[in-house]
Structure 1
Amino acid sequence: MTEANLLWKRVPQHIKEENNEMQKLYLLTQCLHSNNLSNFFRHIHYEWSDDIKSVMDQLHRDTKKNALTLIGNAYTSIFEHNLSTIMNMSKDQLKEACTAMEWDYECINQKAIVFPKRLPRTENIYTSSEYQLSKLTEFVSFLEN
């Protein structure tokens, strides 16, 4: 994100003002930088040029997957309306995505509630001794300086 902001500062002003796609890209980086997912998902729906369409589609898929994973780890339940707002998805799209992740739906007092399931951790929670030693060395070095 920092690199994207620095790159933006180097782009000449007339290019920023004339190119709508550049403005949209900067808006998306601002949304990601501030963790504003609802605005990110709202602004990524744009007619991108063929040069970057595949990159933007991949960014959309990856961000959507990461957001749903974070929501699954953070919430035991969430109203469908709130999740729909965060993800900028229609109720049908949301149901499809939740079904794919094997999340449960329930209607309580005419309000749909989604019950996310935590995904099992796939990363290794154990680290090597060398890695721990290097981190400890960095920490001690930081404290000394």
Structure 2
Amino acid sequence: MDLSQLHNALSSHSFDKVADICDELILQVASTGVAYQEEWPYAIHLLGHLYINDLNSARFLWKSVPQGIKESRPELVAAWKIGQCLWTKDYAGVYNAVQGFDWSPEASGIVASFLENYRKKMFDLLTIAYSTIIVSDVAHFMGMSEEDATKYAVEHGWSLDVPSKMLTVEKPKITAEQKVDSSKLQRLTEFVFHLEN
């Protein structure tokens, strides 16, 4: 079984392509009738789906993995714990699942990138949802200590009221500038002209 395309995606940090590569490869291998289950990189495949937030495909993959393989691969089980936490919206659990396992060198890159993206997504959601928020809540949603969460928030423009331990959210600047595509404007003009005549 040739996994070079998968290894290339992992080494080039093209993690958003991992799930599609694995899905395609597993279909190719399965269509040949060759037994692949023992050597298939299930954990990477599952992490690929989690990376692109395709929870339905992740659940389907998990259900299709033979029980014996689930029992013999702790990294696969650890990846599935992340999926379970995402499914149930257990924000702190996602961080615990990621940080509570010693990932293989092959998986560590995709896991680190997933965690960075997840943390940024959570921060963006907090920015939209709150105007002020207590430090402990930010720490909970960001999977960080209160000190690290405060530092992260302040580095991203939020301000801290030390006595109350409240952070004031800095909302992103909204730009109303729009660029008009001249070809679209031309088509619109022609359409209006056609309607009038």
> TM-score with structure 2 length normalisation?
0.58
Alignment of 1:1-145 (within 5 A): 1-45=55-99, 46-108=101-163, 111-120=164-173
Q: What are the ranges of 5 or more consecutive residues in structure 1 without an aligned counterpart?
A: 130-145
Deviations 1:10-67 (A, max 9, x none): 1111111222111111110111122221110121113110111000000000000000
User: How many angstroms does 1:121 deviate by?
Assistant: 5.5
Does the 8 Å contact 2:122/2:141 carry over to 1? no
Q: Is the partner of 2:147 in helix, strand or coil?
A: helix
Range moving further from structure 2, 52-61 or 88-97? 88-97
Q: Hey, what's the Cα distance between the residues in 2 that align with 1:9 and 1:50? A: 25
Residue number in structure 2 paired with 1:142: none
Does the 8 Å contact 2:91/2:141 carry over to 1? yes
User: How many angstroms does 1:120 deviate by?
Assistant: 3.8
Indicate the structure with greater helix content. Answer: 2
Q: Percent identity, aligned pairs only?
A: 21
Q: Hey, what's the Cα distance between the residues in 2 that align with 1:120 and 1:19? A: 47
Q: Is the partner of 1:105 in helix, strand or coil?
A: strand
Q: Is the partner of 1:44 in helix, strand or coil?
A: helix
Q: Is the partner of 1:114 in helix, strand or coil?
A: strand
Deviations 1:95-123 (A, max 9, x none): 22112211111034xx301112222468x
Does the 8 Å contact 1:78/1:115 carry over to 2? yes
Range moving further from structure 2, 48-57 or 90-99? 90-99
Change (3 A) 1:35 1:119: farther
Q: What are the ranges of 5 or more consecutive residues in structure 2 without an aligned counterpart?
A: 1-54, 179-183, 185-197
Larger Rg: 2
Does the 8 Å contact 2:98/2:111 carry over to 1? yes
